[in-house]
Amino acid sequence: MRTVLIDTLIEMAEKDDRIWLLYADVGYGHVERFQKRFPERTVNCGIREQATVGIAAGLALEGKLPFVYAMATFLTRRAYEQIAVDVANPNLPVTLLGIGGGKTYADAGYAHCPDEDLSIMGLLPNMEVRWPYNPSQLVRDLRNAPRPLYLRVGDYEE
């Protein structure tokens, strides 16, 4: 799924220079391809999910279409207030890509298992929540941005 995600973002970014990818120090083996093609529109924000969301909101206010790539558990739990206040409430076109939702990283313990990510994101005003079930659904959801959107990206392999 992550390969399809990055391939689709590259395709979209080739046609629209407003598309940016921000990531929270994860995604190695995937995000590099986007970063190599669009270094000026790729930002590794480090392990700072709250700041990553804030930066994405700022970019959206400037007319950009940011995509935030981060582990689902840390994105939805640690940056919840920033998502609510900076993205959802003002209805900004930020797409949140929650990587490894559910039990993907169960071996790492509870802190890495965001069982509630879909439900808490669904509580926010203006936020659309999706859990693409296959690569074609993921592509469709990505192409239907911009709007406040949370996508839980699973590990289905094409």
Q: Residue 70 sits in a domain of what CATH number? A: 3.40.50.970
When divided into structural domains, the chain yields a total of 1
Whether residue 104 is predicted with pLDDT greater than 70 in this model: the reply is no
Average pLDDT, rounded, for the chain: 91
d(CA 63, CA 148) in angstroms, rounded, equals: 14
Residue 88: inside a domain, yes or no?
Answer: yes
pLDDT at 136: 94
pLDDT at 26: 80
Q: What is the mean pLDDT of residues 110-117?
A: 76
Residue 83: inside a domain, yes or no?
Answer: yes
Residue 110: inside a domain, yes or no?
Answer: yes
The per-residue pLDDT for range 26-68, each reduced to its tens digit, is: 877 889 999 999 999 999 999 999 999 999 999 999 999 999 9
Q: What is the 3-state secondary structure (H, E, C) of 88-129?
A: HCCCCCCEEEEECCCCCCHHHCHHHCCCCHHHHHHCCCCCEE
Residue 158: inside a domain, yes or no?
Answer: no
pTM: 0.92
